[in-house]
Amino acid sequence: GAVVSQHPSRVICKSGTSVKIECRSLDFQATTMFWYRQFPKQSLMLMATSNEGSKATYEQGVEKDKFLINHASLTLSTLTVTSAHPEDSSFYICSASEPGLNYGYTFGSGTRLTVV
């Protein structure tokens, strides 16, 4: 089946630095990818939708300049958390829509970001 590889799985960074999270579709072309944020013991909150070759669409309340999303190819989407602060600490998960008539979504394994 479709696989999305997300890296890193865990990252600790200092306040003020930037962190890049990568999501790669390994065996299919992901035209659309979604980025979610999950707080402890809570559900997934959609941050943005990215389409290959175009600008991402951000949900209301999500800072575009802080959470930079790039979807430069059909197999790679990246989320960069810029000038990270402790309140950005969270679990970030990407998801790709599966091609064809599969009506599915494949999720990455998530990235635990801790900003100290």
Partner 1 sequence: AQSVTQLGSHVSVSEGALVLLRCNYSSSVPPYLFWYVQYPNQGLQLLLKYTSAATLVKGINGFEAEFKKSETSFHLTKPSAHMSDAAEYFCAVSETSGNTPLVFGKGTRLSVIA
Residues lying near partner 1 in the complex (CB under 8 A): 6, 31-32, 34, 41-44, 46, 49, 91, 93, 95, 97-98, 101-110, 112
Closer of 59 and 63 to partner 1 (Cβ): 59
Closer of 89 and 91 to partner 1 (Cβ): 91
Least separation, in Å, of the C-beta of 42 and partner 1?
7
Cβ neighbours for 93, distance < 8 A, ≥ 6 positions apart:
6, 35, 36, 37, 38, 44, 107, 108, 110, 111
Closer of 34 and 67 to partner 1 (Cβ): 34
At 70, which helix (H) or strand (E)?
Answer: strand 67-73
Least separation, in Å, of the C-beta of 68 and partner 1?
19
| Residue where the block lists tokens 């809570």 | 42
The Cα 8–Cα 19 span in angstroms is 10
Closer of 26 and 83 to partner 1 (Cβ): 26
Q: And the tokens for 66?
A: 């802080």
